[in-house]
Structure 1
Amino acid sequence: MPEVLQAETGSDADTDFHDGPYVILNDARQKQAHWVCHRRLITTDVSIRLQRPKHCGALPQPTLFGPYAIDADHVSGVKTLVALSDVHGQYQVLKTLLKAHGVIDDTGNWALKDGHLVMTGDMFDRGPEVNEVLWFMYELDRAARAAGGMVHLLMGNHEQMVLQGDLRYVNDRYRISSALIGRPYDALYDRDTEIGQWLRSKNTLVKINDMLFMHGGVSPEWLERGLTITQANDLYRKHIDDEKATLKTDPLLNFLFYKGGPTWYRGYFKSELDESQIDALLKHFGVNHIVVGHTSQTRVLGLYDNRIIAIDSSIKLGNAGELLWVEGSTLLRGKYDGSKSPLISD
């Protein structure tokens, strides 16, 4: 029988509070799923397809597919490519946008066939349905592979922050789940958890066709350091759990993980770079476009004659959003109502 614990935190009025599942290895190294149903903790055994407890809302019932391989960070020959960023727990906006453009069908299943979907980070923090977003992307990852497509989930600065214990932006509702399960919020995504293992297998940068994707951007300092994309991805995976103080003492890791690196850099939006510097970056990576999130816009935005494409369309506000749709060499803004228009550089 499932083990049930009564919540000691939160408002008694919020009896419809549901959260989970959190799949965690127990002391015997066996997987267990932890669900919060009406503010009670229910712990169940795990099979490949999780079974949600009765009377627990519409919580995800994912099919587990680990162990998780490290995907290639250089991909070519992709015909249809869709990208978005900075969802920040806005699950309903994410689903509405993807459904409007046929990335998923009416039941939320993968419908892009052999197309590729890129999420350039920041699923965590701020919004109220982070766990739903994570499991939804997890399910799309599995389903896309089965259909011959791919989901490229890149690590953003908020993934980095949560995994390293920086919880300043965590939505208050997750403090209830954390208290019930008896773990700090960051430990709900530790290496002994299903989502934690999945996230730690992911890249931070990926080159697809003639486009380089990441969360924040790369500064010209990258050229001085002579890093490859694969080297950077390996360093992120190796050091993602290191403490901030440790990372700061190493010049290369300090660059990668903080202000000048791919998860934090904002220089494209501050008039810091001229066109020759942008061209030098593109030439170094052998691409025609660098696609980034992190810096909020009101829409998908082209800069430097579309050399830089900004795809943080403020989904985090919970009202609407856009995506980038690439068909061959054609760049389109995918709007919230499902319509598309050419991406014209500002």
Structure 2
Amino acid sequence: MGNTATEFDGPYVITPISGQSTAYWICDNRLKTTSIEKLQVNRPEHCGDLPETKLSSEIKQIMPDTYLGIKKVVALSDVHGQYDVLLTLLKKQKIIDSDGNWAFGEGHMVMTGDIFDRGHQVNEVLWFMYQLDQQARDAGGMVHLLMGNHEQMVLGGDLRYVHQRYDIATTLINRPYNKLYSADTEIGQWLRSKNTIIKINDVLYMHGGISSEWISRELTLDKANALYRANVDASKKSLKADDLLNFLFFGNGPTWYRGYFSETFTEAELDTILQHFNVNHIVVGHTSQERVLGLFHNKVIAVDSSIKVGKSGELLLLENNRLIRGLYDGTRETLQENSLNQ
């Protein structure tokens, strides 16, 4: 980045014990602050084109993890701070309008984790999704931001993959990067309310995948989501010391599992998992592909289309019992069965 680079970053909305929220901004490498008036976050003058938004308590409420009768769903994953690619994809596919506002009506959007790390526009993506969350609810729809392994890593203090752009904010605000999203921040509170696994109609969504070990542990979605929320700030040492939490946060847990892409994984094992949850499909991110990919006759659908590379991406549309690939140029194609020979 160099010493002469001009940086604009923010906002970081922090609510200390006193209860008075303050927005922190990096404007041309200088720290500026603004107060929050009537829940409105306005950027300072001469501070680039950083996000402005209205704060919402509604979108920080814990929502159900199971939904039925949803007529259309869009799913994508692993944005990793590639804000420009995300906006282009969503605009081309008419999920948002030309101004970046929700245009998917009563549909549901599922982002299966990994907004954090690698890329240079993480905060822009977070505030965009925050705003979309509000707009979708106003339209009768819903945004489901699921927790991925990189959300868990950052909130837990594992900062190995954070882009160097954020060094300036951590220095000037005098907080480690993970504390910019701690429980006393607006985005931090919003993230901590989210589920890690959800079920919509006959489809299960999560970041990595559900292994057979889940069944043997007799877990439910409700119990797992509650444990994720309750322990997201726990240290890696304490998580690993607890057998169940070690499973949920690491190894074969739903945010790390890659078993569906292994040569040893069988369709028979998959069918047992699908039957356990009474679903016909499982949608996952985490394991990068060049496109939205169907495995095992589309029983597993991989939606990590390598947006993180910063060049293009795809999304999955589920509408009228059809599985559709939404391509980066705005076109759509039916998801072909058994795209990978397994």
**TM-score (structure 1 length as normaliser):** 0.96
Alpha-carbon shift at residue 275 of structure 1 (Å): 1.0
Alpha-carbon shift at residue 100 of structure 1 (Å): 0.5
Name the structure 2 match of 1:6: none
Listed as ranges, the matches of 1:306-345 within 5 Å are: 306-344=298-336, 345=338
Q: 1:287 to 1:55 in 2, by over 3 A?
A: same
**SS of equivalent residue, structure 1 residue 325:** strand
Amino acid at match of 2:179: A
**SS of equivalent residue, structure 2 residue 53:** coil
Name the structure 2 match of 1:206: 198
Name the structure 1 match of 2:84: 92
Alpha-carbon shift at residue 12 of structure 1 (Å): 4.1
Partners in 2 of 1:199 and 1:255 — Cα distance? 21
Q: Does 1:22 align with 2:12?
A: yes
Name the structure 2 match of 1:43: 33
Question: Deviations for 1:147-168, whole angstroms, at most 9, x for unmatched residues?
Answer: 0000000000000000000000
**SS of equivalent residue, structure 1 residue 324:** strand
Tell me which of 282, 285, 290 is aligned to 1:298: 290
Tell me which of 113, 121, 146 is aligned to 1:121: 113
Q: Does 1:179 align with 2:171?
A: yes
Alpha-carbon shift at residue 29 of structure 1 (Å): 2.6
**SS of equivalent residue, structure 1 residue 231:** helix
Q: Does 1:63 align with 2:54?
A: yes
Partners in 1 of 2:247 and 2:92 — Cα distance? 39
Partners in 2 of 1:196 and 1:158 — Cα distance? 14
Alpha-carbon shift at residue 27 of structure 1 (Å): 5.0
Tell me which of 121, 125, 130 is aligned to 1:133: 125
Q: Does 1:218 align with 2:210?
A: yes
Partners in 1 of 2:111 and 2:283 — Cα distance? 11
Name the structure 2 match of 1:13: 4
Partners in 1 of 2:178 and 2:214 — Cα distance? 30
Partners in 2 of 1:249 and 1:56 — Cα distance? 45
Amino acid at match of 2:31: L
Q: Does 1:287 align with 2:279?
A: yes
Question: Deviations for 1:124-181, whole angstroms, at most 9, x for unmatched residues?
Answer: 0000100000000000000000000000000000000000000000000101111010
Question: Deviations for 1:101-121, whole angstroms, at most 9, x for unmatched residues?
Answer: 111000000000101100000
Question: Deviations for 1:192-230, whole angstroms, at most 9, x for unmatched residues?
Answer: 000000000000000000000000001110110110111
Q: Does 1:106 align with 2:117?
A: no
Partners in 2 of 1:12 and 1:161 — Cα distance? 28
Partners in 1 of 2:134 and 2:148 — Cα distance? 21
Question: Deviations for 1:219-263, whole angstroms, at most 9, x for unmatched residues?
Answer: 110110110111100000011111111111111110010011010
Partners in 2 of 1:124 and 1:159 — Cα distance? 6
- Cα RMSD for the two superposed structures: 0.9
Amino acid at match of 2:234: D
Alpha-carbon shift at residue 28 of structure 1 (Å): 2.2
Alpha-carbon shift at residue 80 of structure 1 (Å): 1.0
Question: Deviations for 1:25-84, whole angstroms, at most 9, x for unmatched residues?
Answer: 135231100000000000111121211111111100011002511111000111111000
**SS of equivalent residue, structure 1 residue 159:** helix
Name the structure 2 match of 1:34: 24
Amino acid at match of 1:75: Y
Amino acid at match of 1:24: I
Partners in 2 of 1:140 and 1:147 — Cα distance? 10
Q: Does 1:246 align with 2:238?
A: yes
Partners in 2 of 1:204 and 1:272 — Cα distance? 26
Amino acid at match of 1:179: T
Unaligned runs of 5+ in 2: none
Partners in 2 of 1:292 and 1:63 — Cα distance? 31
Partners in 2 of 1:291 and 1:193 — Cα distance? 30
**TM-score (structure 2 length as normaliser):** 0.97
Partners in 2 of 1:307 and 1:113 — Cα distance? 27
